[in-house]
Structure 1
Amino acid sequence: MLDEILSILDKHRFQLNPSKCSIMRTKIDYLGHSINEYGIATLYDNIKAIRELPIPDHPTLKQANEFIVLEFPGPKLSYVLSTDASRVGLGAVLKQIAEDGRIKIIYYLSRVLTNTELRYSTTKLEALAIVWARTKLRPYLLGKDFRIETDHCPLCQFHKKRSRSERLDRW
């Protein structure tokens, strides 16, 4: 079998560095994992710090429930898309308001700006965040009622009048 693998590599002109090769081993450590005949496991050194964290003295139920968790969307609930932009990146949160008033987080999105986008005005960045998030979350939002939340007041009146920017009008 080893001869077959080496002949295939040779046929396709692959070159191996002997110092980086491990042949005929039953266990190998690779990319933070230990791989053997039984499966793959995380290397102990990588999880040692987490395992040695002290157990909190008195965690309350409220503190335990504050941990951020994504939830499945409710098919009958409308969506709320909250977006924001900064000079470094874009962010969005897709959420729903449950019947009991609780906010259900469905999806988080974020990305850094491209070199071109770094030159956009604040209004264009905030609009870009909305357009980008709406595009990314299309499978969730298509055919559904949803509200957009933004902290940029000039965009709140955007749907009522034309802007001075062709790009904003296209979006």
Structure 2
Amino acid sequence: MPFGSMNAPATCQRPMQSVLRDLAPQKCLVYLDGVIAHGPSSHEHLANPRILLDRLRQVGLKLNPAKCRLMQKEVNFLRHDISKEYIQTDRTKTVQVEQWPIPLTVTEVKSFLGLASYYRRFVRNFSMITEPLNALLGKDCEFLWTEAQQQSFDQRRKALYESPILAFPDFAMESGELISDTDASVHGLGAVLSQKGETGEEHVIAYRSRSLNNRGKNYCTTRMEMLALVFFLKQYRYYLLGEKFVVRTDHQSLTWLGSFRDPKGQITRWHVYLQAYAFECFDR
């Protein structure tokens, strides 16, 4: 495989998927040369690594013993610290972001945003925070570092360094109601997916946000709030489709989604899309 080939990742992933096809994702997870064997019980946690190692031996793939970890309660995978209950950012990377020097060129801004964007699911209203920095990336845009960019840069570093621990959804817990909080403004769309624990405390699963183009900024409030809901459902379709969940909004009109009379055009398409989900909408 030559260095620099744009197809290198896919070429590497393809044989790994082929070799471990019947094991992933129930017994292992694989991404390029990184593999995790896992199990829901201590018995399977012992058995699955053996199955994985036997399979790799059969096809002649070798492992680096110095990079292997066995019987771990927490692992670092793809720059995330992961355990049975939670996922959080790699602390070495967040320290790196906190100590990041002020960018002096567009290339340095792109480098910072590239690393920061990798952890955007941990930061509430990520798109709104980074909007002043994104403004520097426009075509033929003069690089002018103002107070707005400095505040955005400082907020982004602080938000990532203080990023919360996110929970995994537990679909087996009867009292674990999934909750979606959505909001919209001319600055962008934001949403939070969370779940109630056994004690009634809400645990955040993921944050999501995006900025609006000029067309979206001209939407009326109701259409903008509906766009935020549709955007969020599309992002977390794999969690929400087939599950009952609650949508909380600060826009009372969304609580009457099922009562819209003669919706037309875009609203009709959104209305049809929302019917695939089983949710109740409440005004918070």
Aligned to 1:75: 171
Deviation digits for residues 101-148 of structure 1 (CA, Å, limit 9, x no counterpart) = 110100100110012111111110000000000000101112111111
Amino acid at match of 2:223: K
CA distance in 2, matches of 1:163, 1:110: 30
Of the two structures, which has the highest relative contact order with CA contacts closer than 8 Å and spacing of 6 or more?
Answer: 1
Identity level (%) = 38
Aligned to 2:12: none
Counterpart mapping for 1:3-22 below 5 A: none
CA distance in 2, matches of 1:88, 1:48: 26
TM-score (norm 1): 0.59
**Bigger CA radius of gyration:** 1
- Do 1:94 and 1:107's aligned partners in 2 also have CA atoms closer than 8 Å? yes
Counterpart mapping for 1:114-133 below 5 A: 114-133=213-232
TM-score (norm 2): 0.36
Change (3 A) 1:114 1:163: farther
Aligned length, in residue pairs: 115
Alpha-carbon offset, residue 149 of structure 1: 0.9
Change (3 A) 1:110 1:48: closer
Amino acid at match of 1:47: Q
Alpha-carbon offset, residue 72 of structure 1: 1.1
Deviation digits for residues 58-103 of structure 1 (CA, Å, limit 9, x no counterpart) = xxxxxxxx97321111122331111000111000000011120110
Amino acid at match of 2:231: W
CA distance in 2, matches of 1:121, 1:161: 16
Counterpart mapping for 1:67-146 below 5 A: 68-76=164-172, 77-146=176-245
- Do 1:78 and 1:144's aligned partners in 2 also have CA atoms closer than 8 Å? no
Aligned-partner SS, 2:99: helix
- Do 1:162 and 1:169's aligned partners in 2 also have CA atoms closer than 8 Å? no
Aligned to 1:47: 99
Which of 154, 159, 171 aligns to 2:258? It is 159
User: Which protein has the bigger helix share?
Assistant: 2
| Unaligned stretches of 5+ residues in structure 2 | 4-91, 102-161, 271-284
Alpha-carbon offset, residue 164 of structure 1: 5.4
CA distance in 1, matches of 2:100, 2:261: 58
